[in-house]
């Protein structure tokens, strides 16, 4: 049966203006040279024994230059005489299989050939202790059997809760290296308890596993590495709070607020653990996410899922509308495993689905309250990591002209729909 919409969908869509948001922030220009510098200046690196097998963690997040970061670590550890290898550390991602996690790493150009080091992937874990509440702590069996573990992760605000400890090195130890079993066990504590429990779990792992140090990655507003810090195991818990505060200061945002509609071209697991970052959109599937200065938008439309997500559509549950092409790309096995493991089932809910981008956008505008068309306040972004060059609707021009952090890149133009009614960002 055809969908009948009272009054139809002939809603005028305002012209869009290409703009650039400008954010301050440092940037590491040469990843390899910076990691080499950090190693050479750290006298404790000389304590790494020749021939020791060192496990380097590699996660499933879309960290800029992660392949070059891992390769540089491999190179420097080899220079010390160690025998580094890589272990996937991504909880239940990749369909919670060893093969699936290897495929995820390959998407980021992390293979045995490109890294010039072995990759040992397994879902086997060992119990290394318990939290005070009795929840067991598990760790990747291969990493546990190594001579040393180097934990690598971006430190950033989490997408489901707010605390002193959010997404970073401790979370990689807790959930990434815990594999499916460890991630599932930790999630039974409830997302609202994560911030309190991460340092406790980190202490269990640090005391029982051969953790050497962590490489904390701080990114600037353009999703590029701003700073690396080597944090030795005894300082991990103390330093992570400071690194998180630094990451929050450098984080980008949408400089235009109180929108009628936010159009997100794509979501994906390499963009955010939540598909699209709630710290940007203002929306989370978790009831424990509270951000007082969050973006305010009446509707969110998501148009597509990134190929690198392999069909994992977690995050779509926070959108109001999506498209048939998005729904057709969903792998329900990957999506459900991820949602069930996290305990946040709402992240996998499918919103109202329209045949094309145009119809999804028009239905969103039709259902916005108290809007005088076409005076609609719309922002169109590629994804929540790409916030430098975006599009804003023509009615926002007066605000844009008064904001010194926004540069107008061109004249207003109609949205470029193709013959099928779909969009592609230029």
Query: What separation in angstroms does the CA of 244 have from each of 207, 225, 271?
Result: 23, 14, 18
pLDDT given for residue 426 in this prediction:
60
Query: What span, in angstroms and rounded, lies between the C-alpha atoms of 215 and 226?
Result: 13
d(CA 164, CA 238) in angstroms, rounded, equals 11
| Phi, psi (deg, nearest 5) at residue 78 | -65, -40
Q: How far is CA 404 from CA 95, 259, 400, 401, in A?
A: 45, 20, 8, 8
Can you tell me the distance from the alpha carbon of 364 to that of 237, in angstroms, rounded to the nearest whole number?
A: 45
C-alpha to C-alpha distance for 218 and 64, rounded to whole angstroms: 11
CA 244 – CA 239 distance, rounded (Å): 9
**Does residue 389 come out as left (phi exceeding 0), alpha (psi in the -120 to 50 range) or beta?**
beta
Distance, CA of 336 to CA of 3 (rounded, Å) = 28
The strand ranges marked E within 63-171 are 83-88, 125-130, 136-140, 148-154
Measure the CA angle with vertex 358, ends 352 and 361; round to 5°: 55
Domains and CATH numbers, the chain: 16-23+253-408 (no CATH), 31-250 (3.40.50.11440)
Contact 179/138 with Cβ under 8 angstroms?
yes
User: C-alpha distances in angstroms, 13 versus 24, 362, 366, 373, 413?
Assistant: 33, 7, 10, 8, 11
Number of neighbours of residue 134 by Cβ within 10 angstroms = 6
pLDDT of 9 reads 73
Task: State residue 374's pLDDT score.
Answer: 75
Of 35, 103, 42, the closest CA to residue 74 belongs to: 35
Please count the other Cβ atoms lying within 10 Å of the Cβ belonging to residue 19: 23
Q: Identify the segments of the chain with pLDDT beneath 50.
A: 1
pLDDT for res 6 = 61
Q: Global pTM?
A: 0.76
Q: What is the pLDDT of residues 331-378, one digit of tens each?
A: 999 999 889 888 889 999 999 999 999 999 999 999 998 777 778 999
Q: How far apart are CA 161 and CA 173, in angstroms?
A: 18
Residue 32, Cβ density class (10 Å: 0-12 exposed, 13-18 middle, ≥19 buried): middle
């Amino acid at each position: 049966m055809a969908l009948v919409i009272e009054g139809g969908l002939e809603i005028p869509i305002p012209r869009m203006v290409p703009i650039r948001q400008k954010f301050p922030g440092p940037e590491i220009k040469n990843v390899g040279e910076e990691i080499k510098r950090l190693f050479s200046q750290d006298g404790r690196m000389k304590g790494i024994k020749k021939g020791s097998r060192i496990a380097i963690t590699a996660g499933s997040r879309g960290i800029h230059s992660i392949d070059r970061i891992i390769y540089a670590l491999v190179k420097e550890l080899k220079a010390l005489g160690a025998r580094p290898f890589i272990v996937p550390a991504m909880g239940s991602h990749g369909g919670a299989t060893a093969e699936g996690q290897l495929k995820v790493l390959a998407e980021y150009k992390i293979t045995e050939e490109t890294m010039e080091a072995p990759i040992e992937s397994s879902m086997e874990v060992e119990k290394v202790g318990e939290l005070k509440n009795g929840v067991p702590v598990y760790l990747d069996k291969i990493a546990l059997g190594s001579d040393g573990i180097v934990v690598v992760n971006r430190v950033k605000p989490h997408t489901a809760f707010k605390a002193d400890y959010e997404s970073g090195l401790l979370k990689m130890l807790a959930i990434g290296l815990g594999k499916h079993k460890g991630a599932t066990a930790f999630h039974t504590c409830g997302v609202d308890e994560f911030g309190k429990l991460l340092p406790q779990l980190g202490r269990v792992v640090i005391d029982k596993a051969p953790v050497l140090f962590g490489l904390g990655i701080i990114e600037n507003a353009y999703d590029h590495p701003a700073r690396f810090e080597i944090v030795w195991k005894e300082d991990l818990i103390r330093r992570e709070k400071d690194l998180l505060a630094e990451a929050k200061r450098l984080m980008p945002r949408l400089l235009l607020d109180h929108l009628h509609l936010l159009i997100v071209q794509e979501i994906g697991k390499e963009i955010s653990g939540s598909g699209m970052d709630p710290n940007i959109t203002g929306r989370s599937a978790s009831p424990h996410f509270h951000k007082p200065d969050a973006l305010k938008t009446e509707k969110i439309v998501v148009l597509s899922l990134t190929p690198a997500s392999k069909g994992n559509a977690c995050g779509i549950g926070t959108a109001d509308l999506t498209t048939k092409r998005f729904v057709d790309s969903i792998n329900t096995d990957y999506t459900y495993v991820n949602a069930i493991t996290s305990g946040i089932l709402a992240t996998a809910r499918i919103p109202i689905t329209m045949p094309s981008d145009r119809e999804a956008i028009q239905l969103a505008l039709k259902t916005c309250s108290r809007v005088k068309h076409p005076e609609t306040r719309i922002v169109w972004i590629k994804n929540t990591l790409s916030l430098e060059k975006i599009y804003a609707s023509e009615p926002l021009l007066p605000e844009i002209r008064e904001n010194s952090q926004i540069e107008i890149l061109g004249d207003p133009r109609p949205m470029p729909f193709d013959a099928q009614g779909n969009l592609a960002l230029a």
